[in-house]
Structures are given as C-alpha cells and as structure tokens.
Structure 1
Amino acid sequence: MSRRGGRQPFNPRAGFQRTNNNKEDDGKGVSNVILKQARSSGQLNLSNRSLATVPQSVWNINIDVPPEAKNVSLDNQDERWWDQTDLVKLILASNKLEELSNDIQQLPALTVLDVHDNKLTSLPTAIGELRNLQRLNISHNCLTELPSQISQLHDLLFLHVQHNKISVLQDGLGDLNHLENLDVSNNQLRDLPESIGSLRKLKSLNASENQLLLVPSTIGNLKGVRMLELSSNRLTSLPEEMGYMSSLEQLHVKFNKITSLPPFTKCKDLKELHAGNNNISELSVELLQSLSSLNVLDLRDNKITTIPEDLIKVTTLTRLNIANNNVSSLPYKLGNLTSLRSMVLDGNPLRSIRRDIVNRGTMELMKYLRSRIEETPEDAPDSSSASDPSSVIGRTEAVAGKTLDYSNKKSGTIPVSLWEPAKESGVTAVNFSKNMLTQVPENLILLHKTVVDVNLSVNKIPALPVEMQMMVNITRLDLGSNGLSTIPAVFETMTGMRELVISYNRFTKIPEVVFTWSNLENLLANDNQIGEIDLTGLKRLTKISTLDLQNNDIGEVPPELGTVTSLRSLLLAGNRFRNPRPAILNKGTVALLAYLRDRIPT
C-alpha cells in the first residue's frame, strides 16, 4: 500500500529510521563514509574529534537505513548494506564528552568500549545491557562512582577506571568473574571491597595512588594475580593472607607507611618486591626464607638498621637497594650472593666499610666482603676428594639437584669428567662463574635440551660461539664481567630468554639480537660503554620490567622512554647526560617515567 495515507502493511524493515541520509556529514564530525565503513568492519574510531556529544547516528548505526540502501539494484552487488556487521568496537577517546546516552543499549554486540580522556561525570545505567563487553576503558574522566549495573558485564576481561574521582567500589565488582586486568589507580579509594577476592581469574591489579588504609584479607584468594600495585597509599600493614597469592611475580607497595612485611609463604614465583619509602625497621627470618625466587628487592628509604645474614639464602637476588636506611654494617657472607649485580647503599651510616670501597661499585664491594669472611673448620672440605671432579664424591658434589656447579675454582677449563654425569642428570642450571675461562666450554652444547639457566660471569670470555644458538631453552643468561662487546645475531633462536646480564663488559650498544627476545623481562647492562638508548628496540620488548643502564656513556635520555609502561625498575645513574637530574632519578622509576612523558614534544 502507498505510504501516503491509510494503514500501512507490515514492513520487514520497520525500526530502521532514515535520518540525515541525504547529508554527507551529520554536522557533528561523523561522515556517512565513516559510518558505512563501520557497518562493514564492525569498528568505529571517533577519538580526538572534539566531540561534545555522541551523534545519534552512532547509537542508531545498526538500526538506521543507510544511504546506500536507496540505490539497491540487482546490478549493484557492491552495496550489500543488508549484510552490515553489528558494531563490536567503539572508540570515543580524547573528546569533550560529559555524558553518554542510554541509547548505548542499541549496541548490544559491543565487545570494546573506550571512552578514556573525556569529561564524563557518570555512566548510563544502560551500560549493563552490553552483556558482550570484554574491554571497558573509562579512565581519565571525572567519575565519582561506578553504576551498579557494571556488575552485569560478566564477560568483562579488562576494566580500566584510573584517573577519576571514585571513592567507593561496590561489592558487585566481585561478580565480574572473568576479569583479568583491573586498574583503579589514581582515584580516591579508602578501601577495596571484600568481594575483590572473588575475582579468581584476575592477573593484574593496580590500586596505586589512592587513599587505601588497609587491604582486605580476601586478597589472598587471588591465586592468579601476577602483578599487584599498591604504591602511594596510606597502608600501615599488609595482610598475612597476601602470602597465599601463589602466582604473584611483582609486588609494588612503595610510598606507604608499612612497618613490616608478612612472609610470602606460597609466593614461590615472586621475583620483584618494591617496598621503598615506608617505615620498615627489620627483615624477619620468615620473610627472607620465603623469597626463594626473588630477583629484585627494593627497600630504600625505610628505617632498617640491620641486614640479616639470612639474606644470603635468597640466592637468586640480582638487585638490592637499601639506600637511605640506618644500616651501619653488612654481613660479610653477603659476598657469597654470586647472582647479585647491583647493591645500592647510599645514605646509610656505614662504619665497618670504608667509603672508598663502597664507591668502587657492587662487584668490588662484593669482592671485599668475601675477602673478610673468616674460614671456619666446618667451611673446609672433609677430604680432598670432595673437590676433585674426577672422583665419585667430587662429581656428585658438582652435579647435584639438576645443577652443574663448577664456580669459583679459578680454573681455565671445565673437567671432562663432569659432562656425562651432567647430561645423564638432565641438569637445568649451569654455573661456571668466577673462573678463568677464555672461551665458552665446547661441551656446553651437550646440555642444550635441558639447560635453562647459564652463568658464565666473572671470566675472561671475549666472544660467544655461534653454536650456542642451539640452546633454545635458555631463560636466563649471565655474561657479566667478561670481555664481551657483541652477541651473535644467530642467538635470535633463544626466544624464551627472560633475563640477560651483560654488566661489566665492553658493549657500546645493546646488541640488536636482544630486541628479538620478546619475552625478555630483565636486562642488566650497567658498567659498559653504551652511548645511546635504542628506543625503537626497547619498544619491541613489550614485557621489559627491569632495565639497568647505570655507569655507561649515555648522553641523552629520549622523553619517549617514558611510554615504555611495562618498566618497573629503570636505572640510569652514572651516565654523562644532564637531564633528568640526579634528584629526579632518585625519586624512583614511576616518577622518572612520568617526568619523561611530560617532556614528550607535542
């Protein structure tokens, strides 16, 4: 029937509204061309367009009749508007939006909604209708609360609400049982809801820069969390239950008022503990015994008076920062921490060690501590055969617990008698440090199927053999204190590398092959001759967490280094650049990265 009058018959396209179809642009920054592309791809990016409101055509994108529908013909198969794709990704970031319409419920297929960097003061209740939503970024707005309807988004994986004015998180947050990444940093939170312990799939939680007075004991239920950031709050203690977070790898609690640390009983994977700028006065034996995998321990700016001898049980420790405490002496046995590459002691009233020794650097200090260890009868071997690798006892002592340890022997070769037992035992770690090796032992390749940790530090090795490319399972390689200046490009096969130590060598730049190791987390390259920071290469290392470039020849720090947000520890002191100044460097990594970002030219 005619549309001019009378009752119209059923129209299968009823619900499509024809608005602005004759216009190329709706007057609000969204052209029909863009909308057409969005209907085809299912993605619409309207970021940085100075939008004060979201055009109605965006909310109606899946229900309006598009302009191309007017030209439908059997001869024109390119305009298949009826095959349009539901919008699944909507980006409205960096605009001037003060509100979102409840018409957002007309986009039920959305999986990604990004409205960060706007002026939103609230969210529509209809946001709870977006049941397919997986990523929600509402950071950098003016929100004072989250609507309770957020708890209905059961498929949500990422929720970023940092840099708002939120003071309370509802208990309904615990209903987001698929959530993996939660960032509520830089708000006004005084506590976290008890229900946060229900987020069993959470892997990363950032609640830094708030006003938290305590952490709920239910946090111990977060068995999947790997990174926990609680820095810059008002915490005076941490719950004992935090020790049950069995997957925890990084814990940041800097700039609080914490007086003691709980033992991390079941945190067997904890690699970095950053607890600087607190009121910690002592380190308990229970705490140190629980840190079996720790690489980085940052306790600067506390009130510690004594470093317990039990610290030597943390055999994996590579970096120790106890600057600005009240430590007057160090246990000499600390010199036996063979993996330690950086120890910062500035600002302590050390009396037992001369200042000139401290100023020589970590390696010389460690050497001094070892020289002061008094040998006792129980330290001496029971018989000569115990140190003889050709004897049964000697081989058993060298090859034990999946480790081949022939370190500190001042030897130029590795005894042939050790290789076969090592291969049969399937050793995973090799330690040849503190010898006089002038080349990598050829037989090391025999262990390429099982070895993941190789320590060749403190030798006289000038080059690495290309045959080492066969050792594809290596995750940690320590080449510190040798005569190296390059790493062969063929080492790109070592894709599982997570930690590389090349300190105290002759490198003038970070080897190109290092930037192919996408899993690299820790790179210690201090005390070389590196002249510049390869920003392009570093950005390829998406998991880089620790970068030590101290005491090199770097003349300039690119501001864009501040965008490498995965960094948790950035050390640049002892180079020839003038900016950032030492005062900025001493404020820590978070402040340094923020300083650099603020200086990125626009």
Structure 2
Amino acid sequence: MSKKFPRTVAVFDTKTKNNDCAVSDSELRRARKTGKLNLSDKHLVLWPEEILKLGVVHSDNNEIDLEGKISDDNYKWWELEPLKYLDLSSNNIKKIPNQINQLDGLTTLLLQQNIVESLPLELGHLRNLVKLDLGYNKLHKIPSELSSLKELRTLNLSHNVFKKFPEVIYDLVMLNSLDISSNIIEIMEPGIGFLTRVVDLNISHNKLSSIPNDITSCKALKDLNMSNNRLTSTGLPELINMQNIEKIQLQYNCLTLLPVITGCSELKEIHLGFNEIQTLIPDDKEEEVTIEELSTLSHLQVINLRNNMLQKLPKEVSCLQNLVRLDLSNNNLKELPATLSLLPHLESLLVEGNSLRSIRRDILRGGTTRLINHLKQLLPAEELEKNVNAQFPCTAVNEFPDRYTMRCSRAVNLACKDLCSIPDKVFEEAVAVPCTIVDLSKNKLPLVPSGVWLLYKTLTDLNLANNQLKEIPFEIKNCANLRYLNVANNQLKTLPDELGNCTRIRELNISCNSIQEIPESVYQLLAVEILNFSDNKITSLDAEKMLQLKFLANLDLTNNNLTNVPPLIGNMKQLRSFGLDGNGLRALRPAILAKGTEAVLAWLRNKIV
C-alpha cells in the first residue's frame, strides 16, 4: 500500500475582492524608489487603488505615508520618484479609473491583454506619456481627449474591436510606431498623412478595401504592413517617392496589379503573396520606361509573389541587381526569362507549383543554383558578354529621369547619384509635368542647380541635404508654395533674407551646418511647425522673435553652443518637443532636461521676472 501524504496546498485558491487588487508593501516601496511598477500577470480583476497614490511624492516630516502602507525613516521624500512606468498587462482588468489623471508623470503605460472596454476621458491628462499599449482588449472607440497626448511615440491598439479607424490618432503627430492590426476596421478616412514621423505602421488583419492617398505624406515610414485586408488595386494609392520605406507587406489582399512603388529607393522587401496579380508590367508600358522604374529600386532584396495568377515574368526583372530572394510559387508561369541568371546575389528562386514545361523536372528539383545555371545556358551569348563587361542595359540607363517617370511620381528624384551638377533640361521636363517634389540629397553639389527655380510655382518639397552647399540662392523667394525644406549636412553659415517670403513652410531642417545665430528670415515663417537647428554653432536665442512662431511644435537645438535659454521661451506652451542636450547650459541641469519638454518650459516660466 502506497504511503499517503497530507495535502498542503489547496487545489483552488479562494480569492476575494481585496486580494484581487492588492499590491504588496515591497512592490510599493520599490515603485516609490525606482518610479517603476510591474504588476503584469497578477490575476488582477480591479485596478489597484494604491497605484493612484504613487503619482505624486508627498512630504511629511521626511516620511512617506500612503494610508499606512509606506512609512520608513530610511526613505526621504526628496529621494523618491513619482511613478513613470506602469505595467498592468496580462490581467483581467475591465475598467481604468477616472483618477488615472493623478499619475501625470507616467511615460509608459502597458495594459495589453486585459478586458478593457472603454477609456476614461482623464487618460488625456497623461501628457508625458510616451508609450501606450492597449492591445488585446475590447475597445471600440477612443475619446477625443486623447489628442492631448502630444508626447506619445508608441501606440498599440491591436486585437480590439474597432470598426472605424479612430481619427483622433491623426492628432498624435509625434507618433513613431502605430499598431492597429487585428481589428474589424472597414473605413479609414484621410488624415494619416499628418503622422509625418511614423516609422512603423501596422494596419494588417482588418477589412479595409482602400487606403487614403495621403499615406504617401508619411515621409519617415520604414515598415508598412497592410496585409490580410480586402485591398484592391484601385483602392491602393500609388506609393511614390516614399524614400525611407524599407518593407511593404500586402499579402492576402485582392490586388490584380503590382502596386506603383516608383522612387522607393530604400525598399528592401515587398510581400505580395496570396493576391490575384496577373502581370507585373502593363502592356502599355515600354521597355525603357520599365527599366527606368526598376532602376530606382536599387536596394530591393526580397520579392514574394507566391500564390498569385502570374502568367509571365518580364525579362526586365534582371535590373534588380541586389535581389536575394524571389518567390514565384503557385502561379501560372509557363516559362522563366533567361535574364534571371544575371542576378548576381540571387540565393533563393522558388518556382514550384507552376507549369514550367520547358524546364525538366530534375532541374526544378535541383534547387536555385542548378536552375540558375540552366537559365544561363539559355541566355544569348551577346547578352551574357554585355553583362560580363558591365554593359547590360539596366546599368546603362540615363541617370536623369525622363518625363514619364516624373509624371508617375510628380517628383525629380536624383538622390544618391554623386552628381556635381544637373542640366536645366531635367527641370524643364519637370515643369511640363508639373513636379511638386525635388530631391537632390546625398550628392556633391557645390551650388543649387539653377533649374530648380523653374519649378517655383508648384514646388512644395525641396531636399538638398548632404551636399556641399555654402549658400541658398535668393531665388527661393519665388517658391510661395514651399512647405518642406531640408538643407541639412551642408556648409551653410546663414540663410537668405528672401527665405522669409516662403510663408507656407511647415518644416525646416538646417541641422549639421555652421549657423551661429538663427537667421532673421526664419522668424518670418509664421506657419512653421518643425525647426531643426541641431549640430550647429548657435550661441543665443531671441525669445521675443521666437514667440511669434505660434505653430512651432518641435524645436531641436541639440549640440550647439548655448550657455543659457531665455526664460520667456517658457511661454511657448505649444512646444511638444524641445531639444537642448549637448549644450553648455549653466542653469538648466541635466536632471531637468531629462524630465522632458513640459518640465523644461515650466522651469523657464518660473524664472521669468
């Protein structure tokens, strides 16, 4: 007979309302000292009331006393931290209390994997919040008060029950990362273009049939995930000149045509599997035009076209000289172009599930290397010789875009060409289009090409960054519609007075130059929202003139020669980001700078006499 041992642990833990929301003394003490509290996966069903008392550090005879919870002579109030980091993820919390506004020092709030159904209006008072994670809840709307979260950089609303894209998100202009995947969103109104700083955007696993055209205004976007929706080719805008984008995911949609991605020069991956794409190049396009477009995708490494309806692969695909992986599985291909063998970096070519009758089955089963060798044998000798001599047509394309390419993109894109000059003829063609964007960044231009000013009527975006410019010509005064000007990383010592005529400029980047004082013309840009003067030699600020810029939200003065900041700058309450690191500031201590823009402005206001 086996020996029986007495049961020492109950099979079921009888819980009460009190221990369902209890926080231990040690956790509270640690939170008071570090400003961080982690209560994830604690089986909480109610928001612990003790947390709300951690927002403000109180003093009473040098002790902390939260209803008897914390009282210790070893903890002096000036050594303790208000709560900045709160993790309540993986619990069963249904309601966020209205008193959450007491935690106004929070920078990170993690509430994913709960059962929250609605958000309190008071959540909008957490104006220092940088990261908010509400994924895996039961939210269906967001209160408009959340538009006050101007410091928010990361927002996760995935796996909820939104039916319409919350337009309040468009007011969160400082967002870098937005995830609203795995909802049931059918409608997305225009406005996404206001998120000019967003780098990662995930709207996958919804029910969207179209995307707003202004998504191309998200200039900082690197990772765009639109997979698992109901997108059609007519509902997808042309993704033109999104020059920072590196990855596009469009698999599991209803596309019949390859999306227009002309000018996406940094694109590395595009995923188009499980659509209804029949052709990559429309019949009305000429070979030269196709080569010109493909040559702008010089960094493309991965193309996924599996499970489509492709009947033919154009030979011009060989222009993608950095291609590493090409997935053509489960299509209707009957042959492969021999020019695929000219791709020097191709490591994976997947073609199973096609009717490639001209290629023996043993070759197809032999893997990528054997298939490439077979295609090379089919390549005409003269074309192979051209490739060996680096004279294959795709590498001999004129470095200047033609009118068709510019008409598709509405842009003159000549970035990263090592150019020292650009003929006026290029811009004369651009006037006929007409183009609104000119990107001449990352070249070796000592002067701004005179042809640029031919576009003065339509020019809205001008990028001259990373060149060798020593001055900006006075002709810029005629560009009345200019909204974006980037002259970073040049050799500028000032800006022309005529720049003040460009009163519609919203963003000006003059970082990494030799500016010693902010030019007078900048103070005339009354519509400007973003000013980047970082990494210059600025020694002082004119507070009274700066106060004229009522719409200025982002002012970056990091790494300059400032020794003090005028207290009147504190009255610029509209500022959401104020960069001052890397200066020799005497009064503004690093501890104050570390608290963020709002704390710096408050400190400056307190110094006003």
* Pick aligned residue for 2:306 from 283, 300, 309: 300
TM superposition shift of 1:28: 3.0
Q: Are 1:335 and 2:341 matched, yes or no?
A: yes
> How do 1:398-547 residues align onto structure 2 when only pairs under 5 Å count?
none
Query: What is the CA distance between 1:32 and its match in structure 2?
Result: 2.4
Deviation, structure 1 residue 290: 4.0
Map 1:15-414; keep pairs closer than 5 Å: 28-62=21-55, 69=64, 78-237=74-233, 239-284=236-281, 286=290, 288-376=294-382
In structure 2, relative to structure 1, the CA distance for the partners of 1:159 and 1:58 (3 Å cut) is same
Could you tell me how far apart the structure 1 residues matched to 2:339 and 2:118 are? 58
Indicate if the aligned counterparts of 2:267 and 2:300 stay in contact, CA closer than 8 A: yes
Q: CA deviation at 1:174?
A: 1.4
Structure 1 position 381, deviation (Å): 7.4
Deviation at 1:66, TM superposition (A): 9.1
What is the match of residue 471 of structure 1? none
TM-aligned CA distance change 1:380 to 1:360, over 3 Å: closer
Would the aligned equivalents of 1:219 and 1:241 in 2 still touch at CA under 8 Å?
A: no
Q: What is the one-letter code of the residue matched to 2:300?
A: L
3-state SS, counterpart of residue 349 of structure 2: strand
Q: Per the alignment, do residues 225 and 262 of structure 1 end up closer, same or farther by CA in structure 2, a change over 3 Å counting? A: same
Q: Deviations over 1:353-390 (max 9, x none)?
A: 111111101001100110111224x76579xxx97xxx
Following superposition, which runs of at least 4 residues in structure 1 exceed 6 angstroms of deviation?
Answer: 64-67
Aligned to 2:74, the other structure's residue is in SS state coil
Q: Give the Cα separation in 1 of the matches to 2:192 and 2:177.
A: 12
Task: Determine if contact 1:148/1:170 at 8 Å carries over to the other structure.
Answer: no
TM-superposition CA deviations, 1:46-67 (whole Å, max 9, x none): 1111111112221122458699
| 1:583 corresponding residue in structure 2 | none
- C-alpha separation in 2, matches of 1:155 and 1:178: 6
Report the TM-score, using the length of structure 1 for normalisation: 0.57
- AA aligned to 1:251 is I
Tell me, what secondary structure is at the counterpart of 2:248?
Answer: strand
Distance 1:69 1:303, change over 3 A: closer
Give the Å deviation of 1:191.
2.8
Q: Equivalents in 2 of 1:168, 1:240: separation in Å? A: 19
3-state SS, counterpart of residue 238 of structure 2? helix
Contact conserved, 2:43 with 2:92, CA < 8 A, in 1?
Answer: yes
Q: 1:379 to 1:89 in 2, by over 3 A?
A: closer
The normalised TM-score by structure 2 is: 0.56
Residue type at the aligned position of 1:272: E
Q: Which amino acid aligns with 2:268?
A: K
Question: In 2, Cα distance between the equivalents of 1:209 and 1:381?
Answer: 46
Give the gaps of 5 or more residues in structure 1: 1-24, 388-393, 402-424, 426-602
Q: CA offset at residue 242 of structure 1? A: 1.4
Relative to structure 1, the CA distance from residue 380 to residue 247 in structure 2 (aligned partners, 3 Å threshold; closer, same or farther) is closer
Query: Is contact 2:225–2:248 with CA below 8 Å preserved after alignment?
Result: yes
Provide the C-alpha distance between the structure 1 equivalents of 2:164 and 2:154, rounded to a whole number of angstroms.
Answer: 19
Q: Do 1:146 and 1:169's aligned partners in 2 also have CA atoms closer than 8 Å? A: no
Q: Summarize the Cα distance change of 1:292–1:40 in structure 2 as closer, same or farther, 3 Å threshold.
A: same
SS at match of 1:29: coil
CA contact (8 A) 1:39 1:62 kept: no
> Residue type of the partner of 1:280?
I
Question: 1:69, CA displacement in angstroms?
Answer: 4.1
Q: CA deviation at 1:311?
A: 0.6
Cα-Cα RMSD: 2.9
Counterpart for residue 507 of structure 1? none
Provide the residue aligned with 2:463 in structure 1.
none
CA distance in 2, matches of 1:300, 1:62: 53
Partner SS for 1:202: coil
State the distance in 2 between where 1:294 and 1:379 align.
23
Summarize deviations over 1:364-420 as a string: whole Å, max 9, x none: 1100110111224x76579xxx97xxxxxx9x99xx99xxxxxxxxxxxxxxxxxxx
Higher RCO structure (Cα 8 Å, ≥6 apart): 2
Q: Residue 214 of structure 2 aligns to which amino acid in structure 1?
A: T
Q: Which amino acid aligns with 1:322?
A: L
Q: Which amino acid aligns with 1:337?
A: L
User: Once the 2 structures are TM-superposed, how far is the Cα of residue 195 of structure 1 from its aligned partner?
Assistant: 1.1
Separation in structure 2 between the aligned mates of residue 191 and residue 352 of structure 1, nearest angstrom: 46
Shift of 1:339: 1.1
Distance 1:242 1:203, change over 3 A: same
Q: Measure the CA separation in 2 of the matches of 1:353 and 1:269.
A: 34
Compute the displacement of 1:246 (Å): 1.2
Question: Per-residue deviation at 1:296?
Answer: 0.4
Cα distance in 2 between the residues matched to 1:375 and 1:219: 46
Secondary structure of residue in 2 paired with 1:310: helix
CA displacement at 1:39 relative to structure 2: 1.3
Contact 2:186-2:208 at 8 Å conserved across structures: yes
Per the TM alignment, residue 162 of structure 1 is displaced from its structure 2 partner at its CA by 0.5
Q: Per the alignment, in what secondary structure is the counterpart of residue 60 of structure 1?
A: helix
How many residues align? The count is: 362
Q: Which deviates more from structure 2 when the two are superposed, residues 78-87 or residues 244-253?
A: 78-87
Letter in 2 for 1:56: E
Residue number in structure 2 paired with 1:505: none
Relative distance call for 1:170 and 1:28 in structure 2 (3 A) is closer
1:84 is displaced (CA, Å) by 2.6
Whole-angstrom distance in 1 between the partners of 2:80 and 2:335 = 72
Measured in 2, the distance between the counterparts of 1:156 and 1:266 equals 30
Q: After TM superposition, give the deviation of residue 70 of structure 1 in Å.
A: 6.7
Tell me the distance in 1 between the aligned counterparts of 2:200 and 2:65. Answer: 50
Whole-Å separation in 2 of the counterparts to 1:337 and 1:244: 25
Shift of 1:83: 3.9
- Please tell me whether the aligned partners of residues 268 and 301 of structure 2 are also in contact (alpha carbons under 8 angstroms): yes
Contact 1:205 1:225 in 2 (8 A): yes
Partner SS state of residue 367, structure 1: helix
CA–CA distance in structure 2, aligned partners of residues 69 and 258 of structure 1:
62
State the distance in 2 between where 1:193 and 1:149 align: 19
> Where does residue 526 of structure 1 map in the other structure?
none
For residues 156-185 of structure 1, give each alpha carbon's deviation from its aligned partner in whole angstroms, at most 9, with x where no partner exists: 000001111111223221111110000000
Cα distance in 2 for residues equivalent to 1:49 and 1:319: 45
The 1:372/1:38 distance shift into structure 2, 3 A limit, reads same
In structure 1, what is the Cα distance between the partners aligned to 2:243 and 2:57? 51
Q: CA deviation at 1:303?
A: 0.6
Gaps of 5+ in 2: 1-17, 282-286, 397-417, 419-609
Q: In 1, distance between residues paired with 2:29 and 2:386?
A: 80
Q: CA deviation at 1:338?
A: 1.6
* Inter-partner Cα distance in structure 1 for 2:64 and 2:209: 59
